[in-house]
Amino acid sequence: MSAIDQLFANLRATGRKALMPFITAGDPDLDFTSAIVRELARRGCGLCEIGIPYSDPIADGPVIQASYTRALQRRIKVLDIFESLAGLSGDLTMPLVTMVSYAIVYRIGLERYVAEAKQAGVSGAIVPDLPVEESQHLAELCRREDFSLIQLITPTTPRPRATRIAEQSSGFLYYVSVTGITGERQDLPRELVDKVSWLKEQTDLPVCIGFGISTAEHVRLLSPVADGLIVGSAFVRRIATVSHDSSEDLRQKVVQEVGQFAESLLADLN
């Protein structure tokens, strides 16, 4: 059983749900990323998604695009990210997964990427631009290595294709709440709860919802049907107030603000 499988087994046994923040690795630097991850774990988040900066946005809105650009301007490298995460792995009570383009995985090499990620204490990968038709090799490798391959299902995914994606996935399914890009939204689609309810009837995998979630109202709406909620832009926007040259007082203040925001969402989630 992987760390992600164990997480959701524990949550289900206690009737709780996972808050799953997304943050960009290296924005504004890897030391600050480590401080944020530690704070999110301390506040009780279930899992943290670590965005691997990429120059060509896949479904990222302007807030996350800008964070990737800032990190890339500092010449952040994947193996530097893994080295930094390895320094955290012994201290954390929550699993980490990477959000990564398949182009990066392919360039490094599938076997090497999984091996390096595992050595860094990472438990899985979300690969948003990997079609299910081309995912078998990576899915088999991840199952063999007890490393979760988390794939996305969107509101426009036909139902037969959704079940096929579920069969090729492990860890959990990432359900995209809206058609479009990431970013904070005021309203979510009315049919979202029904679509997620149907998907949960087709698979034993946990189903976690992301894109657009940013308020307590969203959390209260979705917590009855989701196994976890993924919140990205709302965290990344708060982190964007810090630069590499910011004072230590400001850096500590933002870490606290991010932690308090996570805690406020958790209060409505469980």
Tokens of 227: 């196994």
Residue pair 43/3 in contact (Cβ under 8 Å)? The answer is no
User: What is the greatest pairwise CA distance in the chain?
Assistant: 52
Tokens of 69: 């650009």
The active-site residue out of 5, 29, 39, 49 is 49
| Distance, first Cα to last Cα, the chain | 24
Tokens of 231: 């919140």
Active site residue 80: no
Rounded CA-CA distance 150/168 in Å is 9
The active-site residue out of 5, 60, 116, 227 is 60
Active site residue 49: yes
Please give the C-alpha separations between residue 128 and each of 52, 125, 261, in angstroms, as whole numbers: 12, 9, 26
Rounded CA-CA distance 155/8 in Å is 24
Helix, strand, or coil here: 234? helix
Q: Tell me the catalytic residues.
A: 49, 60
